[in-house]
Every structure is written in structure tokens, then in C-alpha cells.
Structure 1
Amino acid sequence: MESLIVPNFCSLQPAARMTNYRGKIICFSIIIIDIAAGILGLKAEIAEHKGTNLSIFLFECKAPMRQAYKLGLAAAVLLVLAHAVANLLGGCTCICSREEFQRASADRQMAVATLSLSWLVLAAGFTLLMIGAVSNSQSRASCILPHPHFLATGGSVCFVHGLFGMAYYVSAAAASLEEEQNHRRDESLGVRV
């Protein structure tokens, strides 16, 4: 009969157990904040379409919706908050040269890659949400060429940001733990760093 392999949490050091719980809470927080931002972006798109729209030839005339402006702005703020949580609690992960990147551990390489991608996704999502929100901040109706659904697209990008933000935090924490263990090992062997 095969025995099940069950992790023994009692064998972990208290600090390791605390880090494990802390990491889960931080990852959960990043995902929840990004999901909330995405939902607000999608609700802002719905609120924007509740306004009066009139199509004339190639132009679309619409009245700005104050509710869409507020929801779009709130989504942008939550997206930035989720990014700040991931970056501040994930720590600083920087690699300055290609040689340093090639010598770095897989966790550190993953942290740098996901950090870069999370910044790109943040820039895209924030820009889309702000364009959509600002288009609803005007006090009078305007006639423009029909635009893509900025708020809905920005809201969808928030969900992607949650994945990259969480991946960055996990890989940065793993790289930090690995470096700490290597440093302790080097100290125990008497190697000067």
C-alpha cells in the first residue's frame, strides 16, 4: 500500500511558516485588488453605454456619463495599488547586464521577466482606463469617431496584471529566499562574500 506524502508543517521553522502565510495573503491581496479593478472597468463600460448615443455618418455623438468616469478612475487607482503592493512587497529585483542575467538563478530571471511584463501591462491598462475615464469627464456631449471599448479593454487587462503581479511576487520571494540560503551556506563554510 502506498503512503501519501503529506507536508509536515511542524518541521518548518516559525519564520518559514509565517513567510508562507504572509506570501499567500499577499498573493491573494494582489489578485483580489486586480479583480476588483477589472470588474470596475467592466462596470464603467456598461455605465458608459447607458448614456444617450447618436450615430451620424462616421461620427458617434454621446453624452458623458459621470458614473463611468468615477468607475474608470477607481479601476485605474486599484490597478496602480495592486502594482504597488506587488512591487513594494516583492522587493527590488534588478539585473543590469546580459551577463548578470545569464548567471542569475532561474527564480531571479523569472522575477525580472515578470517584473518587466507587469510594468508593460500596467502601462497599457492604466492608459486604457484613463482614456476611457477622461472621455466621460467632460460636461457636455461630444461627437467623435467611434472608439474601441477602452474601459472594457482596460478592465480585462487588470485581470492579466493580477497574474503577472502575483507571478512577480512569488518569483521575487523565491529568489530572495534562495539568495539568503546561499549567503548562510557561504557563511557556514567560511567563504567571504
Structure 2
Amino acid sequence: MATKNIYYLVGLLIIITDVVAGILSIEAEIAQNKAKNLRVWILECRDPSHEAFKLGLAATILLTLAHVTAFMLGGCICIWSKEELDQSSNNKQLAAASHVLSWVIMVIAFSMLISGTLSNSRSRQNCGISNNHLLSIGGILCFVHGLFAVAYYISATAATQEEKKLKQPASATAAANA
């Protein structure tokens, strides 16, 4: 019973971390939009926002923390061949699919958050092609990442428990026959 509570707490921790990262990155976008800027068509000159930099950096760190938590505590569930995919349980298949999707979303969200954060790190005015909404889109992807990371954690944990249950009766039968 206590281990089930731990699984719920870890899943909740992953979701909360990703949600906070998403909220912080949206707040960073709001702080960035409050900075002075001059826009002509697609070119934009604006002063960097230190507040947006801090919030974007915190969001990036929290996204990474949520990802590491899900994959370190969920374990490694890998499927190496089509035959193994066909023979694996539904939990293992779900874990493998959410593993891939979570990594793809993580890479995209991380890249967007880093780009948005770095655009606010300069100590001078920045002019160039407008890169609006990097932080807010990265924040939305943090929410999506939370869903796939929790799906991975839950299905990987369930697949590991299934494999342990399948191995226990086999070892008990072998010991009884000896």
C-alpha cells in the first residue's frame, strides 16, 4: 500500500513540476512583452527583460528536472525489435511510445525555452527577426510534456511490476522441482 502512495506522489511531483515550468514560461513571455520595443514588419528592436530571463531559466530548469525525475524513477523500458514489440505487454508498449514522444516534446520545448531565455540575456538592445511567443509555446509544451512523462512513468512502473510477477512464479516452480 505504501509503495502505491509513492507512485502517486512521484506522478504528482512530475505533473506539478511541469505545470509550474509552463506557468513560469508564460509569465516570462508576459514580462518580455512589457519590455520596450520597436517593431517594423517582421524586424523588431527591443530591450531585454531581466525578469523574463530569470523566469525562462527557472522554467527550463524545472522542465529538465521533471524529465529527469520521470526517466530516472520510471526506469528504462526499451523495445529493440518488431518481434519484441509484438510480444510485449500493453504497458511496455505504452511506455515505449510515451518514452519517444516525451523525448521529442522535451527537445522542442527545451529548445524554445532556451532560445526565448537567451534572447533576454543580452545587456544591450537586440534587433532582428521577431521571435515572438517562443516562451509561451515552450510553456504549453511543458504541459504536454507533463502528460507524456507521467504516462511513461506509470506505464514503465507497471511494466516492471508485471515482469517481476512473471519471473516470481517461474523461479518458485524451479525451486520446488529441484
1:107 partner letter: N
TM-score scaled by length of structure 1: 0.88
1:52-99 deviation digits (Å, cap 9, x = unpaired): 011134311111111111111110000000000000000111121121
Query: What is the DSSP-based 3-state SS (H/G/I as helix, E as strand, rest coil) of the residue aligned with 1:96?
Result: coil
Gaps of at least 5 residues in structure 1 are 1-16
Query: What is the DSSP-based 3-state SS (H/G/I as helix, E as strand, rest coil) of the residue aligned with 1:190?
Result: helix
Q: Quick check: 1:185 aligned with 2:166?
A: no
Cα distance in structure 2, aligned partners of 1:137 and 1:67: 10
- For these two proteins, the number of residue pairs brought into alignment is 176
TM-score scaled by length of structure 2: 0.95
The structure whose residues are more often helix, as a share, is 2
Gaps of at least 5 residues in structure 2 are none
Of residues 113, 133, 136, the one that matches 2:97 is 113
The residue that corresponds to 2:69 in the other structure is: 85
- Structure 2 vs 1, CA of residues 150 and 181 (structure 1 numbering), >3 Å: closer, same or farther? same
Of residues 174, 182, 186, the one that matches 2:158 is 174
Query: What is the DSSP-based 3-state SS (H/G/I as helix, E as strand, rest coil) of the residue aligned with 2:147?
Result: helix
CA-atom RMSD, angstroms?
A: 1.4
1:20-53 deviation digits (Å, cap 9, x = unpaired): 1010000000000001100100000000001001
Q: Quick check: 1:28 aligned with 2:16?
A: no
Sequence identity, in percent?
44
1:142 partner letter: N
Of 93-102 and 81-90, more deviation after overlay is shown by 93-102
Large movers: runs of 4+ above 3 Å: none
The residue that corresponds to 2:115 in the other structure is: 131
Which of these two proteins has the greater Rg computed from alpha carbons?
1
The residue that corresponds to 2:84 in the other structure is: 100
Cα distance in structure 2, aligned partners of 1:58 and 1:154: 21
